[in-house]
């Protein structure tokens, strides 16, 4: 049986008194590739934020490798191996590419590994954050998260607003990240076709609850389910 590395148990969470997630339960195995899809406002981003400790947890608990982290700070969760790449990218605009990477570097993290994943960043390593294109900023945001050596990488809408050629490059990078099974990757994405092609497992969230949890391949073959919960009859956006 695969080892459960992250689990949400009957989690109700949101912002202030607002409940966005409602008694949501999810177990994720080490090395898994999980796609999280659903309509805008379904609770996908809130789930990642809750895993990182950025929302109010009303009830339930979150465990990481069997340890209850429900009351841990976001920084503590990061130190334990969770890494979030947010929709907002949040790079340091006044720093160069290389400074953005080195300022968060931990342990055995390697600049060369980041540059191998994103050769464009090596070419631009002396450029400031404001001098980068949107795609380059996204590459930097991902690479910077990897400098913290996360065992679990949480990707929140990484393809949003990017040209198709950049999306292809990013998806190739995610394949490389997950290839050796050392990292668990959770991909929240509106581009259902790309997400399901990458993942081995998929969950669909509607109104803060999981309405599908199973094979990504099987979900691609159920256009009626995609139409009902995502608004597309095919795995395209």
Strand order across the 201-206 sheet: 82-85, 152-156, 184-188, 33-37, 201-206, 209-215
Q: Give the range among 178-187, 202-211, 223-232 with minimum mean pLDDT.
A: 223-232
What pLDDT, on the 0 to 100 scale, is given for residue 223? 84
pLDDT digits (tens, 9 = 90+) for 62-115: 999 999 999 999 999 999 999 999 998 889 999 999 999 999 999 888 999 999
Instruction: Indicate the domain borders of the chain.
Output: 1-81+184-232
Q: Does domain 1-81+184-232 have CATH number 3.40.50.2300?
A: no
Instruction: Tell me the C-alpha distance between 203 and 167, whole Å.
Output: 21
Burial 212-228 (b: 16+ CB within 10 A, else e): beeebeebbeeeeebee
What pLDDT, on the 0 to 100 scale, is given for residue 235? 42
- Name the pTM for this structure: 0.93
Instruction: Please answer whether residues 216 and 196 qualify as being in contact, where contact means their C-beta atoms are separated by less than 8 angstroms.
Output: yes
Q: How many helices and strands in the chain, by DSSP H and E? A: 10, 10
Three-class HEC string of 96-147: EHHHHHHCCCCCCCCHHHHHHHCHHHHHCCCCEHHHCCHHHHHHHHHHHHHC
């Amino acid at each position: 049986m695969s080892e459960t590395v992250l689990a949400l148990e009957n989690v109700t969470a949101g912002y202030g008194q607002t409940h966005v997630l409602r008694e949501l339960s999810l177990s994720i195995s080490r090395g898994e590739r999980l796609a999280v899809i659903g309509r805008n406002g379904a609770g996908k981003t809130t789930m990642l934020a809750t895993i990182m400790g950025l929302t109010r947890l009303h009830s339930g608990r979150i465990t990481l490798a069997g340890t209850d982290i429900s009351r841990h700070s976001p920084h503590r969760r990061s130190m334990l191996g969770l890494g979030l790449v947010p929709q907002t990218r949040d790079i340091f605009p006044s720093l160069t590419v290389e400074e953005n990477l080195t300022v968060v570097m931990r342990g055995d993290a390697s600049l060369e590994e980041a540059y191998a994943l994103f050769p464009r960043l090596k070419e631009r390593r002396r450029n400031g954050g404001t001098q980068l294109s949107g795609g380059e900023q996204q590459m930097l945001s991902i690479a910077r998260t990897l400098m913290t050596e996360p065992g679990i990488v949480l990707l929140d809408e990484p393809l949003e607003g990017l040209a198709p050629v950049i999306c292809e490059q990013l998806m190739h990078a995610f394949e490389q990240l997950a290839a050796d099974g050392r990292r668990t990757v959770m991909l929240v994405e509106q581009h259902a076709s790309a997400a399901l092609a990458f993942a081995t497992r998929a969950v669909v969230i509607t109104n803060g609850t999981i309405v599908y949890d199973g094979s990504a391949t099987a979900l691609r073959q159920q256009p009626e389910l995609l139409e009902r919960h995502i608004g597309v009859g095919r795995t395209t956006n």
